[in-house]
Amino acid sequence: MKKGKLIIMALLAMAAVACQKEPEPTPAEKAIGNHVRNETKVPIHIETAVKTDSTTYAKEINRRIGIYELRIIQNGQRAEKYAKQSMPKNARIMREAIEKDYKIIAGLDSIRNHMGSDTLGIAYYDYEFEYCTADEKGKKTKPKKAYATVTPTNKVITWSLKRTDIHKAAGLSIPGYRKLLDELKTKEEQ
């Protein structure tokens, strides 16, 4: 009987010690923590990171194309307005922006065609995470909520304190998108 009690007490003690240890962070939690620390230069600790959604390359390419199509419409309206107001320089700037947006759309179409069925793969996951900083005494502060987009290879694309802001630069997950934008920017500067 004593032996059974000792075994039970030993198991309870081991369980108590196991409960006190913090679980090992997931690769996504590590990536998010490293990215936020590097960007903010603030020592933070990721408390939790929960995957909330996923986006395929096809969906992200379509989202980007939709953004540029809307910009073309808006800039077309502005160009008309400026032309009517005898502001040729502003009208020309809007027309140049429209031309650039058409080139980006064509580039995205080319990327989509080049990727083929790979566009059905996951471009990134949305994460909701909580993080803490340490005060001057080393105590953790109250957790703050933030959001991130993370590729399947755990590369953080964007993060923000606002959920609505995490997709603003998520197009950078599309292979070749950054290169397309950089090439168009270089041509503008020449």
Q: What DSSP line would sit under 29-84, residue for residue?
A: HHHHHHHHHHHH---EEEEEEEEEEEEEHHHHHHHHHHHHHHHHHHHHHHHHHHHH
How confident is the model at residue 6, as a pLDDT?
A: 53
Which residue, 153, 155, 157, 160, is CA-closest to 128?
160
Please give the Cα distance from 65 to 105 (Å, whole number): 6
Please give the Cα distance from 67 to 78 (Å, whole number): 16
Q: Which residue segment(s) compose the domain that 165 sits in?
A: 28-185
pLDDT at 188 > cutoff 80: no
pLDDT at 31 > cutoff 60: yes
Residue 14 lies in a domain: no
Which residue, 173, 128, 129, 169, is CA-closest to 151?
173
How confident is the model at residue 101, as a pLDDT?
A: 97
128 forms beta bridges with 50, 147
Q: Which residue has the higher pLDDT, 118 or 14?
A: 118
Residue 13 lies in a domain: no
pLDDT tens, position by position, 41-70: 888 889 999 999 999 999 999 999 999 999
pLDDT tens, position by position, 118-159: 999 999 999 999 999 877 777 788 999 999 999 999 999 999
Residue 166 lies in a domain: yes
The number of distinct structural domains making up the chain is 1
Residue 82 lies in a domain: yes
Which residue, 25, 184, 17, is CA-closest to 108?
184
Please give the Cα distance from 124 to 152 (Å, whole number): 6
Residue 62 lies in a domain: yes
For the residues 65-78, what does the mean pLDDT come to? 97
| pTM as predicted | 0.80
Residue 14: what residue type?
M
Residue 124 lies in a domain: yes
* Tokens (6 digits) for 84: 């009517």
Which residue, 113, 102, 121, is CA-closest to 59?
121
